Chain A
Amino acid sequence: MINVLLIVLLISLLYLSIANRLLTYIKILAFQGVILFGVALIELSEINTVNLVLILLETIIVKAILVPLFIKYIIKRNNMTREMEPFIPNFVSLIIVTTIIVITILLSNSITDTHLEKISFIVALSTLFTGLFIIGTRKKIITHVMGYMVIENGVFILSLAVGNEMPLLVNLGIMLDIFASVLILGVFVNKIGDVLKDVDVDQLRNLKD
């Protein structure tokens, strides 16, 4: 069951690479939040209940509901156009994300550690690098934020791998998640929307040498 969920997450990354509208991205983010809820529910069988409830609430409420709604609100408020405006064609994006997945599979096959849960490791790393890839190749700043959220999802899966022995680390991951979301989105909604109207990275090119 857990493998099915993880592989669905992997497929959602491929969809992410060819999606063309901001709204689709938000939906995928929410969907990934729901999947992470399922993964955490199954995986974290050995930690105490209060902690588990906290983690589950974080995935379902913050990742799947609050953050997507918030991003949607920002997009509406700032009247952003709905296209992603990638720097490279979708087809190339798809190929690159596939390559990322293949490389992580090859990498994890070269590891000889008996503790390693391969599929979760592969999915975590692919999610991480796909997030970085999205940040690097999309024009709108709000997409960078979404790319960062994708990275966070990857980190969450990675932290589940040691979650049963060190629940502290999962909690820290959640703290990072909430903290960074609030900070980044906070700066965004309060400031960037007011000062710079239609937001894309071209407007953030004044500071240079």
Chain B
Amino acid sequence: MIGIYLIIAFIISGILFFNRSTRLNNILLIVYLLVQCFFTLYEYNHLNVIELQYFKPDALGILLLMTLTIVGAAALFHSHLYIKDHQEKPRSRGIYFSAMVMLITAMGAAYLSNHIAVTWIFVEITTLSASALIYHHRNERSLEGTWKYVFICAISVTLIFIGILFLSMAMRQAGSTDLTFDNLLVKASVLNVFWLRLAFLFIFTGFTAKLGLVPMYTAGIDAKDKAPAPAGALFATVLMNMGFVGIFRIYVVISHTTIFAWTNSVIMIAAFLTVFVATVYMVKVKNIKRMLAYSGIEHMGLVMLGLAAGGIGYYAAILHIILHAFVKSSLFFQFSQVYKVFQSKSIYDEGNYFKYNLTGAMVVLIGFICATAMPPSGLFVSEFMIFSAMFKAHQIVVLVLIMILLTMIIWAFGKNIFKLLFTPVEDFDDTHVPKINPLHSLSQFGLIGLSIYLGLNPPIQFVNLIQEAIKNLPH
């Protein structure tokens, strides 16, 4: 099935690239969405069945694939609105949708891949398609964003590749050449620890470019800022989840070796620095879109802290990335409407949003409450579990520092969001403010509602899938 899916998706992407007709474009996108939904359902019903030798839909892959399908459908809908509003030429529309379909497909395949080299190939494809999306506006700024993203991602995929080479050296000692995650897990106890350590360092550093952790987070921020908002929503959520998958699968293997404690401290340091950097920039930043991007960085830091703390932290980490994907993507979708009203990304030019777009302002307000993990946000539940896991792991000092940093983040986030919502801007000419259709905010309400529902009252299948995803980690 995955083979057929990949072929269909790449064909659709190819036709979209060359197609100039609006109607065909819309039909193809709907066909793609249907294929994507059908594929997700199919894989859900074929849990843990190996396909094409290199793909295995395990619980984590399925969870993230479902997230991808939901966020991706909303992203395609908002892209459609975006392209229509900007009256794009057929050529640039073709490139945009072709790249977006390719991006969604590659991420889905990367989630399900069971072989580290296959994951790596799809990570490369996401770099390619993401760069086309970032360069959509074809001006100097977007060129700068694209160049930085391409270059940093090229270095990071090289680092991942070096990590894979070291991993293969670690496997050589175990007398095997099969680099599937299943086989790595079986052989975990006989892997050469020295090479494994190097492999983890390189693979971790490489994937941080996608996941958005210190040290390679920088390129992602520019990308989310310069790409059109619907594409930025994908970069800030599901693309980050892909980085998480890469690190998580290697982490599971390492949890069965003697360097597990060392790995946890590496992750802990990177995660703490990430939250710290996010705080510094959140306080300083004046561009709403970049602020949302930094908030994403902070959440990924928390996820990794949960992973490093262990215990209930594993469960919380996976819950957190899924819920974060829904909340943050809806804020990004909403941002296109904010930009339409104020024609600016800077907080100085924005204010009194409630007056111009009531429904949109409600999305921003609820989205803010959810993104800062205040009740009733679903993220509140996962963050609460992460903190209690850190308590149990006796990381009190880190926890206290993180709490202080989070308070500062909420302060900075709230300051900007409330300015946007309530404070009127002086001499803002509101005669040209367009009327925004409230129905365009519907998907945002849906996504946020879903995140609250999954956090407060998770269905039993959902809980079972998360439990299944973390079953190989030590309890």
Contact = CB atoms under 8 A, between A and B. Distances in A.
Question: Looking at chain A's contact residues, is the secondary structure mostly helix, strand, loop, or mixed?
Answer: helix
Contact of A176 (B124, B173, B194, B286): B124
B140 A155 contact: no
Most chain A CB neighbours (cut-off 10 Å) among B121, B144, B158, B194: B158
Contacts of B143: 191-192, 195-196
A184 B135 CA distance: 14
A206 B290 CA distance: 14
Given A207-B222, A209-B285, A209-B290, A173 B161 contact: yes
Given A169-B164, A172-B117, A172-B161, A207 B144 contact: yes
B154 interface: yes
B48 to A, nearest CB: 24
A58 interface: no
Contacts of B154: 148, 180, 183-184
A25 B173 CA distance: 39
B177 A165 contact: yes
B146 interface: yes
A179 interface: yes
B281 A209 contact: yes
B165 A180 contact: no
Interface in A129-180: 135, 141, 144, 148, 151-152, 155, 158-159, 161-162, 165-166, 168-169, 172-173, 175-176, 179-180
Interface secondary structure of B, over-half rule: helix
B191 interface: no
Given A180-B157, A187-B147, A209 B168 contact: no
Interface in B132-149: 135, 139-141, 143-148
Interface in B221-271: 222, 225-226
Interface string B164-200: 1100110011000101000000000000101100000
A179 B122 CA distance: 12
Interface of B: 117, 120-121, 124, 127-128, 131, 135, 139-141, 143-148, 150-151, 154-155, 157-158, 161-162, 164-165, 168-169, 172-173, 177, 179, 192, 194-195, 222, 225-226, 281, 284-287, 290
Given A151-B158, A184-B154, A191-B135, 19 more contacts: A113-B192, A113-B195, A115-B173, A128-B162, A135-B155, A141-B147, A148-B151, A155-B162, A165-B172, A165-B177, A172-B121, A172-B161, A173-B161, A176-B158, A176-B161, A184-B150, A187-B146, A188-B147, A209-B287
Interface of A: 111, 113, 115-116, 128, 135, 141, 144, 148, 151-152, 155, 158-159, 161-162, 165-166, 168-169, 172-173, 175-176, 179-180, 183-184, 187-188, 191-192, 195-196, 204, 206-207, 209
